[in-house]
Amino acid sequence: MLVTGGAGFIGSHVCAALLREGHEVLCVDNFFTGTRENIYHLLDDHRFELLRHDVTFPLYVEADEIYNFACPASPVHYQSDPVQTTKTSVHGAINLLGLAKRTQARILQASTSEVYGDPEVHPQPEDYCGRVDPCSIRACYDEGKRCAETLFFDYNRQYQVQIKVARIFNTYGPHMHPNDGRVVSNFIMQALRDESISVYGDGGQSRSFCYVDDLVEGLTQLMASEPSVTGPINLGNPSEVTVLELAELIIDLTGSRSAIRHFPLPVADPRRRQPVIQRARAELSWEPRTGLKEGLERTIAYFELLEREGFGSR
């Protein structure tokens, strides 16, 4: 099993899950946003191998299945080098699809709910084509992922490569980078430090948060599904919550003295995000099982450990 971006947040959990299933795993990462801390606990497993590599360059290895998570996924990181972000999505997809074609491997693309942009349809089903501004500061990620999906389906039609495309909605849990700028990690770190909680706008914008263990189960089930199940398939939690509600819940769970402070909305920030998951239920028999409170408690415990061990500034 080849997992690109395997030292990242979701990729590291996928590596661990595949090892538990008895597979041999080759983790590929250039450590732009991934960290060695996420995979330290896997290094002693003789079935686990780590390779430092940038997927914008060809990769010459053997694989039976490929999970492609190689791309920075938070605005702070992907906007810091937007050209490289686009190259990672597009050139990376071309290189990995070429590898899948050569080795006859099945390949899964970790796409994103950001392909829907700032949606005019709510909640978002897979047949909604989205509303994305190709010139915005977020387009390097949004359009890069959209182009990667195009490449995946064209390789499937033209070369019969076995593909799986998962559109991942907001996901949280252990191994999130504490400084990635995402709302869950931001709020938890601010709450643990009794700092003001930064809410953008009035906090009425909504998100749907899926715990990482649930997501990984959906991803592995998608990879194991029949060849006719190509996707795209939404994987996320259909329970919608406002950003302000999330902030208040995290303050309560951490026992923080933090106050909520409002800031202007970022440019092109989606107002609402909620998946329709009927396709995942029907084709994968999958739906998330972890409640938001339970998942946040586990995630808070992880960040508390990072703070105690001095990794909060990594």
What phi-psi label fits residue 132: left (phi over 0), alpha (psi between -120 and 50 degrees) or beta?
A: beta
pLDDT, tens digit, 9 for 90 and up, residues 113-125: 999 998 999 999 9
Encode 8-18: b = buried (16+ Cβ within 10 Å), e = exposed: bbbbbbbbbbb
Show the tokens assigned to 56. 């914008």
Cβ atoms within 10 Å of 306's Cβ, excluding its own? 20
Domain containing 16 equals 2-172+211-239+273-290
CATH number at residue 54: 3.40.50.720
Residue 258 counted as domain residue: no
* pLDDT tens, residue by residue, 260-312: 999 988 766 778 889 999 999 999 999 999 999 999 999 999 999 998 877 64
Give the count of domains, the chain: 1
Residue 310 maps to a domain: no
Strand (E) or helix (H) holding 109: strand 106-112
Nearest to 256 by CA among 171, 191, 167, 172: 191
- pLDDT tens-digit profile of 161-214? 999 999 999 999 999 988 888 899 999 999 999 999 999 889 999 899 999 999
Say what the pTM is: 0.94
Residue 101 belongs to some domain of the structure: yes
Residue 155, domain member (yes or no): yes
Domain assignment present for 186: no
Q: How far apart are CA 281 and CA 235, in angstroms?
A: 10
Question: Which residues are marked as active site?
Answer: 141
Domain annotation covers residue 190:
no
pLDDT of residue 311: 63
Backbone angles phi, psi at 122, to 5 degrees: -140, 130
Backbone dihedral region for residue 213 (phi beyond 0: left; psi -120 to 50: alpha; all else: beta): alpha
Q: How many CB atoms lie within 10 A of CB 47?
A: 13
What is the rounded distance in angstroms from the CA atom of residue 166 to the CA atom of residue 143?
16
For residue 313, what pLDDT is reported? Answer: 44
List the one residue out of 10, 21, 24, 113 whose CA is nearest residue 69. 10
Radius of gyration of the chain (CA): 19
Whether residue 257 lies inside any domain: the answer is no
Domain annotation covers residue 195: no
Averaged pLDDT for residues 28-55: 96
